[in-house]
Amino acid sequence: MSDRFDLPAGFRWGAATAAYQIEGAVDEDGRGPSVWDVFAARPGAVRDGHTGAVACDHYHRYPEDIELMRGLGLDGYRFSVSWPRVLPTGAGAVNPAGLAFYDRLVDALLEADIAPLPTLFHWDLPQGLEDNGGWLNRDTAYRFAEYAAIVTDRLGDRVPTWITLNEPFVHTVFGYALGTHAPGRTLMFEALPAAHHQLLAHGLAASILHGRGLEVMLSNNLTPVWPASDSAGDVAAAQAYDVLHNRLFTDPVLLGRYPDLSALGVPDDIFGAVRPGDVDLIHTPALDGLGLNFYNPTRVAAPTDPALPFDLVGIPDVPHTAFGWPVVPSALTQLLLHLRDSYGEALPPITITENGCSVAGDTTPDQPRIDFMATHLDALARAVAEGIDIRGYYTWSLIDNLEWSEGFSQRFGLVHVDFETQCRTPKASYVWYRDLIAAHRKRFSK
């Protein structure tokens, strides 16, 4: 195939996963329980009672999965480290077998010439920390910094770049505000101290990693926010939602200040969570790269429920994924331009650390995923043409996996997984992505 996307030489092609979604082996080799093990055991919490107990059995099958990556010709693989595998209760004694797993994984990736891009926290908090308040407790930020030091002590000699957190917006809102994800708390805006403590954790860990000569990224799920109309009510609602979804998680890191939270009814100090000096701790270890997880834009209207400052409304007349998410690739270009306009010089190079879609059914048809990736890569190339520094694209996801509270019902993988047999079958999008990567590489080879 021809390389249709005008992306630069050295652009990194990758695929992403996360520990709880693929590893399984939750009781093996000394791993402690995570909030997701406990949450998934609650009747009705996860669709069809699915859990990550086995998931894709990647803990045992990682060599096969690395072969699939090698077959794609990936430059990089984004995975997450399971905190409770390394520190079973979140703090205290290290579990050597847990660290050894990531040691083997990293070595096997390097052997296959694939750069590991680990994320330190992708939502599977050790239950031991949740028992002390989880991310609502400031102490968790300090425990995260210790954990980051332990993991990078072991792997930092081979892994130069680290992502601290994945999507603190989603973890805060789904996990602590709405309760649809672990740990299942329903605190609405009083959940926001959990956001601040995650950002503090990021800042504390980033300082440690920088002290070791490592590069640090943060992966945020960002969305362009569209007011449903030009009415003052819709515009104000869109601004409030933009603060909650985007700016709360990006302004302190890039600009060293929180946005005005008054439209959310949240005090400046986020219910006493923000202490003097905290925002400097978050901002000062300058990000070496911003990880952008992009799925869709969000359309917002003035609230009908007085308890909320906005209503999320549908986007008509566009295709939707199997998950019901609107497909609007141009929104990715729009978002990237908006980030440049908003943050200017403070915006570090961007890597797309997630982008993809769920497609219903098994291995075929897979054309919707190919179309999704192609149109989003085209949108990315348009942003590159506008001068935005975009370093790579990690598709979500390498393999079908546990889609959190949706269980195994949403298939995001380039590789089909039969969850009964664990048989992996590359889909049409796998072949398409493989050929695209090869064509891009060929274009720049001498």
Which residues are known to be catalytic?
A: 167, 354
In whole angstroms, the minimum distance from the beta carbon of 224 to ligand IFM comes to 17
Helix or strand (DSSP H, E) at 417 = strand 415-417
Query: Does 35 engage in binding with ligand IFM (CB under 6 A)?
Result: no
Q: Which tokens is 421 given?
A: 């047999």
Q: How many CB atoms lie within 10 A of CB 92?
A: 10
DSSP character at residue 74: -
Q: How many residues of this chain interact with ligand IFM, rule: CB under 6 A?
A: 8
Per the CB < 8 A criterion, the answer to whether 148 and 156 are in contact is no
In whole angstroms, the minimum distance from the beta carbon of 397 to ligand IFM comes to 7
For residue 108, the one-letter residue type is: A
User: Which C-beta is closer to ligand IFM: that of 172 or that of 293?
Assistant: 293
Q: Which of residues 390-409 bind ligand IFM (CB under 6 A)?
A: 396, 403
User: Which C-beta is closer to ligand IFM: that of 261 or that of 335?
Assistant: 335
Query: Does 82 engage in binding with ligand IFM (CB under 6 A)?
Result: no
For 39, 86, 103, 184, 397, the CA distances from 16, given in Å and listed in that order, are: 23, 20, 18, 25, 5
Distance, in Å, from the CA atom of 234 to the CA atom of 300, rounded to the nearest integer, reads 7
Query: Does 354 engage in binding with ligand IFM (CB under 6 A)?
Result: yes
Q: Which tokens is 184 given?
A: 């299942």
Distance, in Å, from the CA atom of 65 to the CA atom of 413, rounded to the nearest integer, reads 12
Query: Does 23 engage in binding with ligand IFM (CB under 6 A)?
Result: no
Query: Does 249 engage in binding with ligand IFM (CB under 6 A)?
Result: no
Strand 424-426 with 415-417, pairing: antiparallel
Residue selected from 167, 234, 288, 366 as contacting ligand IFM according to rule CB under 6 A: 167
CB closest to ligand IFM, residue no: 18
Query: Does 293 engage in binding with ligand IFM (CB under 6 A)?
Result: yes
User: Which C-beta is closer to ligand IFM: that of 394 or that of 432?
Assistant: 394
In degrees, rounded to 5, the angle at the alpha carbon of residue 248 between the alpha carbons of residues 177 and 141 is 70
* Unique residue bearing structure tokens 């609502």: 136
Query: Does 18 engage in binding with ligand IFM (CB under 6 A)?
Result: yes
Q: Which of residues 407-426 bind ligand IFM (CB under 6 A)?
A: 412
Applying CB under 6 A, the residues found at the interface with ligand IFM are 18, 21, 167, 293, 354, 396, 403, 412
